[in-house]
């Protein structure tokens, strides 16, 4: 289902994503060494990107998931973030990598970083497939970004519109 008046076009070629992911994993590993880490995958959109990254990580890692809501079925964030599913692992004294599909305004990411810091991790870093700097209203330092994109609604590679188009 495509919203009325919108057309789908390819923004980033699949080969570009395939080529970019190993370097993101390498940069993360260089920063944390071979220390065990936890990948905190932000559901639902980041699950494909997280799998891509995991395949290139060479240190012991565990994976946990968090599900946050700020969009619903809308194309704009409501600005209020709520936790639908919280993490289950202990993050205390662990290196944590938040794996996100897209950072738009920074509101959701700031909320999540603050929330995870309550679990007393050793470090929290952010890796996003897409960084939409033009929409940023809260400055959240992104440690690893696959691609910086201009404003516009994006679907595919896990990102959705009303739960559709994740497979693109």
The pLDDT, as a whole number, for residue 1 is 54
Question: Which residues on adjacent β-strands are paired with residue 82?
Answer: 69
pLDDT at 90 over 70: yes
| 26: CB partners within 8 A, 6+ apart | 56
Just give the CATH number of 14-70+79-148. Answer: 3.40.50.2020
The pLDDT, as a whole number, for residue 76 is 55
Residue with tokens 């290196």: 95
The pLDDT, as a whole number, for residue 140 is 94
Domain residue extents for the chain: 14-70+79-148
- Which structure tokens are listed for 104? 């738009």
The pLDDT, as a whole number, for residue 32 is 86
What is the tens place of the pLDDT at every residue in 47-61?
999 999 999 998 899
Question: Using an 8 Å Cβ cutoff, are 146 and 129 in contact?
Answer: yes
What is the tens place of the pLDDT at every residue in 100-159?
999 999 999 999 999 999 999 999 999 999 999 888 899 999 999 999 998 888 888 888
What is the tens place of the pLDDT at every residue in 32-89?
888 889 999 999 999 999 999 999 998 899 999 999 998 555 555 567 899 999 999 9
- Cα angle for residues 108, 110, 115 (degrees, 5° grid): 95
What span, in angstroms and rounded, lies between the C-alpha atoms of 111 and 144?
A: 18
């Amino acid at each position: 289902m495509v919203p009325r008046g919108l057309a789908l076009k390819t923004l980033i070629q699949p080969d570009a994503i395939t080529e970019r992911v190993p370097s993101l994993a390498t940069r993360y590993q260089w920063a944390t060494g071979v220390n065990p880490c936890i990948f905190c995958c932000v559901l639902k959109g980041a699950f494909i990107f997280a799998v891509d990254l995991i395949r290139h990580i060479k240190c012991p890692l565990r994976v946990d998931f968090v599900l946050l809501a700020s969009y619903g079925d809308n194309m704009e964030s409501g600005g209020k973030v709520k936790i639908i599913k919280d993490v289950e692992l202990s993050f205390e004294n662990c290196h944590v990598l938040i794996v996100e599909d897209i950072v738009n305004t920074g509101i959701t990411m700031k909320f999540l970083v603050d929330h995870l810091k309550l679990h007393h991790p050793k470090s929290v870093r952010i890796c996003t497939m897409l960084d939409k700097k033009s929409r940023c209203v809260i400055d959240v330092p992104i440690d690893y970004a696959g691609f910086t994109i201009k404003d516009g609604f994006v679907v595919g590679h896990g990102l959705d519109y009303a739960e559709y188009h994740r497979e693109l």
